[in-house]
Amino acid sequence: MTFTELGLNARMVSRLEALGLTTPTPIQQQAIPVALQGRDVLGIAQTGTGKTAAFGIPLVVALSKAPERPQPRSARGLILAPTRELAGQIVRTLEGLTADLRITLVVGGKSIHGQSSALSRGTDILVATPGRLIDLIDRGSVTLGQTRFLVLDEADQMLDIGFIHALRRIAPLLGKDRQTMMFSATMPKSMADLSRSYLTDPVRVEVSPPGKVADKVTHSVHFVAKEEKQDLLIGLLRGHREDRALVFSRTKHGAERLMKQLDRAGFAAASIHGNKSQGQRDRALQAFRSGSVTVLVATDVAARGIDIPGVGHVYNFDLPNVPENYVHRIGRTARAGTAGRAIAFCDADEVSELKAIEKVLGMPVEVAGGSPWQTRAQAPKPQKGRRPRRRTGGTSARLAA
């Protein structure tokens, strides 16, 4: 199938070809024709499947057909995203699709005065994180009464990180006669409830069911004591010094500490997490894209929406607390049809996280090293009246399953 067969005009097809896009992905094949009809869309697809273009193309087409221009401090279309990085990437995609529409980005970590000034003229498409949008609404810098198009991207992540209250504040401010598109990688009950609140008679399109790892990703797990993770990571990184590697840490402080340790070990490393300013995060991502930084240590702010070609390896230094994030994390490699490798570390306290991940995947993760830890419930109990034999050493303390 071609983009022309989806009902797009020659001008849009030409722009897509200039971007190197000639064949629509499965989610684009299903979502674009429905959205062009003005229907509400509920899209379920994993990260990296082309969701941004799936909603961006019909949004640009619809706004380009409408003759009116945006009023001051208004937005004709609104796209909400959970993270600054994802919002920025959406803007870059939209800018490749049109040169005629005004696109404005508002996220935390940037000057709110500059964003307020940019909105004073009005905008065709406003791309925002919910928290910063609420701040601008409270200041009177933007009104949403004329907004006729709403997109919620990575909606399940917005719920995970507590944006539900912001969404409930924003929704009543939009025009009632609107088209809404909601895209999510998973469909928990909370997402179903949200879709019923926001969407009217939606068409559901679904590809790459939750828990499915990209075909060209090879992923495995090392069972390793917590205090030995750093040495294992350094040893593995030395095996591919020229390749880009993305390393996930569970906490902001852990990510920063690990980045400094890798820097001392001789790697060109940088970090992105919630304690970094937006400028610092942007510079780290740019350095990673250019190759001047080869190891990027991140929290889950980089688990979705960060499209960096050439990431050959993803390391789960800490396993995620939310099992679905495992799939999102390792989806940062094997982009655009390339192959990639994902390696997870599991210490004795992370057994439950690994089991939850395997439940989502529907299969065990291949063991690359070490012996699987037992859960405490499985561990043999010492006989009454006898002291348990003491275990010493990092790897010798590992319990065989």
User: What is the per-residue pLDDT for 394?
Assistant: 39
For the chain, helix, strand, coil in percent to 5 are 40, 20, 40
- Other CB atoms within 10 Å distance of the CB of residue 113: 10
Q: Specify burial of residue 368 (Cβ count, 10 A radius: 0-12, 13-18, 19+).
A: middle
User: What is the per-residue pLDDT for 378?
Assistant: 43
Q: Specify burial of residue 102 (Cβ count, 10 A radius: 0-12, 13-18, 19+).
A: middle
Which residue has 């003491």 as its token pair? Answer: 390
User: What is the per-residue pLDDT for 233?
Assistant: 97
Q: Are 354 and 216 in contact (CB under 8 A)?
A: no
- Other CB atoms within 10 Å distance of the CB of residue 267: 20
Q: Specify burial of residue 65 (Cβ count, 10 A radius: 0-12, 13-18, 19+).
A: exposed
User: What is the per-residue pLDDT for 58?
Assistant: 97
Can you list the residues of the chain whose pLDDT is less than 70? 160-161, 208-212, 214-215, 305-306, 334-337, 374-401
Question: Which H/E stretch holds residue 247?
Answer: strand 244-248
Crossing angle of helices 278-290 and 84-97, rounded to 10°: 60
Tokens of 201: 């008679």
Which domains are delineated in the chain? Answer: 4-206 (3.40.50.300), 217-396 (3.40.50.300)
